[in-house]
Amino acid sequence: AAQEIINQVLVKLEENQVPMPDYALKSSGAAIYRSRTSPSFRTPKAKVFLFSLPLVDYVMSPEVILEPENQPGNCWPFPGSQGHVFIVLSEPVIPKAVTMDHVLGTTFHEDRTATAPKDFAVYGLKKEDEEQGTFLGQFTFLAALNPSQTFQLKNELSGSVKYIRLQVLSNWGHPDYTCLYRFRVHGDPLKDGGKASS
pLDDT, tens digit only, all 198 positions of the chain: 666 665 555 555 544 555 789 999 999 999 999 888 999 887 655 444 455 555 444 568 899 999 988 778 788 999 999 999 999 999 999 999 999 999 865 444 556 789 999 999 999 999 988 888 999 999 999 988 888 999 999 876 778 999 999 999 999 999 999 999 999 999 998 775 444 444
Structural domain contains residue 15: no
User: At 160, which CATH number?
Assistant: 2.60.120.260
Give the range of the structural domain holding residue 72, as residue numbers without chain letter.
20-189
Structural domain includes residue 169? yes
pLDDT at 4: 64
The structural domain count of the chain equals 1
d(Cα 8, Cα 10) in Å, to the nearest integer? 5
* Residue 169 to residues 125, 150, 180, 197, Cα–Cα distance (Å): 19, 18, 13, 29
83 is a domain residue: yes
pLDDT at position 1: 63
Antiparallel, parallel or unpaired: β 47-50 and 83-101: unpaired
* The predicted structure's pLDDT at residue 193: 43
Question: Whole-prediction pTM value?
Answer: 0.79
Residue in 93, 97, 46, 40 with CA at minimum distance from that of residue 65: 40
The pLDDT assigned to 58 comes to 53
Confidence at residue 113, expressed as pLDDT on a 0 to 100 scale: 85
132 part of a folded domain: yes
In a domain, 1, yes or no: no
pLDDT on residue 101: 93
Residue 144, in any domain of the structure: yes
Please indicate, yes or no, if residue 7 is contained in any of the structural domains: no
User: In whole angstroms, how large is the CA radius of gyration of the chain?
Assistant: 17
Q: How many CA atoms lie within 13 A of 150 on its CB side?
A: 16
**Is position 197 within any domain?**
no
